[in-house]
Amino acid sequence: MNTTEKVIFEQFPYWEKAIGANVKTSGEELLVFVGCGTSYNLALSLAAYANMAGRRAIAAPGAEWLNRPSAFWPEWRKTHIVALSRSGETTETVAAAKASRAAGAFVTAITVEAESALAKNCDRLIAAATHPDEGIVMTVSASLMVLLGLQMIGQEIPASLVSSARRLADALDAALPKIIEDRSHFVFLGSGPLFGVALEGALKLMEMSQIMTQAFHPLEYRHGPISLVDGQTAAIMLYSSHQKEAEIKLVEELRDKGAVVIGFGGPGDIEFAVDAGLSLAGLAVLPALQILGERAAQARGIETVSPRHLTKVVTLA
């Protein structure tokens, strides 16, 4: 077992420690979830969850918020920035936090590095300890930042979610790599808060295995991207309750065109029950998506401990 795989399966005790942290925030300001790479994907998901919980929220990539916040929100100086960064050192995220703060915004940092530059340049720090062996590929810390972000917006995380997530990762793993054998095009589909999670599944698999991946809102997929579907395609459908019938029809269409479909919370060539409602499903499926990336990489003989062209932190001179 390599370190990436070990860390994915050893992440659950870190969840348990972070559950129940007293991090809930109140306030009427617009929440702006900001991050880069994986942290931006998580920001997208958390912004959707925040809106669903009755808060007002948007998400922006670090550099975009740094350079043109007014393209996202005209009154950007009066916002509450929630900067997400595993390392707390990513240049654009730290600079965005500093600039927003200097302009009058309140900045909360969500990180696993309590001594980082981001932690030192925020008004409120929300941090959790992560697995010491986590490498370049972001796994346990991604899950932890979602968990902390959900708690920040007032979502309670039941202890049972930890075993649900673990079971899901184990169940998918038992079907891997067979179910994705010979597939070289991966498509992740998710709606609402699951869109950011779909993007994260796609990014994870791409950076781990060097396979081309895509992510879409499910019903967007017919509007062009479906032209790529053939017998090389594996589609991962993150079902959501509010449009499940439409998603089932889409999956039927994808299968007719040759795709193999992994269904989380609904039908596919293989189906996994998600033992959590939509408000927690994004977190519940993350470890399963992480192990999917690892197994796809292993099937291609690619080592994920030092993925090609990647570094743990992107710092710009």
Taking the CB of residue 140, how many other CB atoms lie within 10 A of it? 27
- For the CB of residue 84, give the shortest distance to ligand F1P in the complex, in Å: 7
Q: Do 266 and 293 meet the contact criterion of CB atoms below 8 Å apart?
A: no
Q: Which residue has the tokens 């049972």?
A: 160
Number of residues that this document lists for the chain: 317
Tell me if 39 contacts ligand F1P by CB under 6 A.
yes
Quick note: the x/- pattern for ligand F1P over 122-151, rule CB under 6 A, is --------------x-x-------------
The amino acid occupying position 173 is D
Tell me which stretch binds ligand F1P (CB under 6 A): 34-42, 161-169, 185-193, 260-268.
34-42
Phi, psi (deg, nearest 5) at residue 186 = -115, 130
- Point out the residue whose Cβ comes nearest to ligand F1P: 37
Phi, psi (deg, nearest 5) at residue 250 = -60, -45
Tell me which stretch binds ligand F1P (CB under 6 A): 66-74, 179-187, 236-244, 306-314.
306-314
- For the CB of residue 103, give the shortest distance to ligand F1P in the complex, in Å: 21
User: Distance between CA 47 and CA 153 in Å, rounded?
Assistant: 10
Tell me if 164 contacts ligand F1P by CB under 6 A.
no
Give SS3 for 147: helix
Written as six digits, the tokens of 114 are 């309590």
User: Distance between CA 127 and CA 23 in Å, rounded?
Assistant: 10
- For the CB of residue 104, give the shortest distance to ligand F1P in the complex, in Å: 24
Q: Can you tell me which of 129, 175, 212, 313 binds ligand F1P, judged by CB under 6 A?
A: 313
Site for ligand F1P in 169-208 (CB under 6 A): 207
User: Distance between CA 283 and CA 161 in Å, rounded?
Assistant: 9
Tell me if 61 contacts ligand F1P by CB under 6 A.
no
CA distances in angstroms from 226 to 202, 212, 317, listed in the order given: 16, 15, 40
Tell me if 36 contacts ligand F1P by CB under 6 A.
yes
- For the CB of residue 73, give the shortest distance to ligand F1P in the complex, in Å: 21
Site for ligand F1P in 70-109 (CB under 6 A): 85-87, 90, 93
Tell me if 52 contacts ligand F1P by CB under 6 A.
no
Tell me if 37 contacts ligand F1P by CB under 6 A.
yes
Strand partners for 270: 262
Total residues in contact with ligand F1P, by rule CB under 6 A? 16
Nearest in space to 48 (alpha carbons), one of 178, 161, 167, 195: 195
The residue (of 110 and 161) whose beta carbon lies closer to ligand F1P is: 110
Binding site for ligand F1P (CB under 6 A): 36-39, 85-87, 90, 93, 136, 138, 207, 310, 312-314
